[in-house]
């Protein structure tokens, strides 16, 4: 495809998600998720339980189950409504993951949870707190990913990891956000266009999130192609590292450029909603052009009461380490802030296939 360019010199909207580019050709290829233990995720909450209160908190290790499935199992066992179970974020099904759940239940904590729950769940820790765990109350996640049947140059793999540690990678939403064969985006189009009524609150949330992610990924892909995904442009909304706060910059000074280079600030992209982007100049033109190419999503999100928000275009991993377990098995360890996808980092290192289908 030949991309159009706007007056700011930025290429125009892409035609498809499949064209979303990595930074360069990954130096290796392999298979992930051959078994659940190959994809380990440990949640890092933004708070700790106080030890007392009406909400029972459980740190649970789950295997081959979704977060929603676990929440429903806990609600059923505790004899409470699903809405009385809290968690900070969704975790992968095809993985071994650790995360906190809260249950609004005033009874004692000495119940035999382990015997009542299926073998795929293990209670690692329990405590109490006066509040429910709310979605988004998350600092980040630590990952341990094993890639099997690897073919590639270990030296080049190490070089890419060193570059990612220094400069970060494009903060794409991963394929998990879009569902099998990107079905969540198609369902979002139908829901927002009025062709399909969705009564289940959880499903509505998934489809709305997929719609916002679709527009964001397309904007980010354009800026990756232009080489500006990690560079401040006139009119950018710059996000403070580790924060949701941002400010719009209409003059890129040397100080601003230096802060972006060292990771204090990040250019951001749109999480579409009412009011439209706060950006200016060519950046605003680009974001509006990309969104205009998705009319059902743009109009539907604005009319659904979703408020416009921003997401960093770049994320810099913490403690990224590559270790070879044998000649064909690579293990990657790293931590990411809340909302960033391990697969977005992985795709910069390995052209992967998933063993779970």
Lowest mean pLDDT among 64-68, 97-101, 315-319: 64-68
Q: How many CB atoms lie within 10 A of CB 305?
A: 9
pLDDT at 315: 97
Please, where in the chain does CATH 3.30.2350.20 lie? 47-136
- % of the chain exceeding 70 in pLDDT: 91
Active site members:
92
Cα separation, 195 vs 202, whole angstroms: 19
Q: How far is CA 22 from the centre of its chain?
A: 16
**pTM assigned to the model:** 0.87
- pLDDT tens digits, one per residue of 98-148: 999 999 986 655 566 667 788 999 999 999 999 999 988 889 999 999 999
Cα separation, 35 vs 43, whole angstroms: 20
Domain covering 169-315 in this structure, CATH number: 3.30.2340.10
Please, where in the chain does CATH 3.30.2340.10 lie? 169-315
Domain covering 47-136 in this structure, CATH number: 3.30.2350.20
* Cβ neighbourhood burial of 156 (10 Å; 0-12, 13-18, 19+): middle
pLDDT at 10: 44
pLDDT at 130: 92
């Amino acid at each position: 495809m030949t991309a159009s360019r706007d007056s700011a010199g930025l290429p125009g909207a892409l035609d498809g998600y499949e064209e979303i580019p990595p930074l360069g050709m990954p130096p290796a290829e392999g298979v992930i998720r051959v078994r659940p233990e190959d994809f380990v995720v440990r949640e890092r909450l933004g708070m700790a339980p106080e030890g007392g209160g009406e909400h029972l908190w459980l740190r649970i290790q789950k295997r081959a189950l979704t977060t929603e499935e676990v929440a429903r199992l806990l609600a059923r066992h505790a004899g409470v409504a699903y809405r009385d179970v809290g968690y900070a974020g969704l975790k992968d099904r095809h993985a071994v993951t650790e995360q906190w759940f809260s249950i609004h239940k005033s009874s004692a904590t000495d119940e035999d949870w382990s015997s009542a729950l299926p073998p795929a769940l293990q209670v690692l820790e329990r405590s109490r707190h006066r509040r429910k765990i709310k979605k988004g109350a998350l600092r980040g996640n630590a990952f341990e990913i094993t890639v099997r049947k690897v073919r590639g140059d270990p030296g080049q793999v190490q070089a890419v990891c060193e570059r990612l540690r220094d400069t970060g990678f494009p903060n794409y939403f991963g394929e998990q956000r879009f569902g099998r064969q990107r079905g969540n985006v198609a369902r979002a189009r139908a829901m927002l266009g009025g062709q399909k009524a969705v009564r289940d609150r959880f499903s509505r949330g998934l489809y709305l999130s997929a719609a916002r992610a679709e527009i964001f990924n397309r904007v980010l892909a354009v800026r990756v192609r232009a080489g500006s995904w990690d560079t401040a442009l006139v009119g950018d909304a710059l996000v403070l590292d580790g924060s949701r706060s941002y400010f719009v910059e209409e003059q890129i000074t040397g100080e601003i450029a230096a802060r972006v280079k060292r990771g204090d600030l990040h250019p951001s992209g749109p999480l579409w909603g009412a009011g439209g982007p706060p950006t200016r100049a060519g950046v605003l033109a680009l974001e509006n052009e990309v969104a205009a190419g998705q009319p059902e999503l743009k109009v539907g999100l604005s009319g659904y009461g979703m408020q416009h928000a921003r997401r960093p275009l770049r994320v810099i991993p913490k403690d990224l380490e590559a270790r070879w377990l044998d000649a064909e098995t690579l293990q990657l360890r790293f931590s990411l802030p809340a909302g960033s996808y391990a697969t977005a980092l992985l795709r910069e290192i390995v052209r992967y296939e998933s063993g779970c289908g």
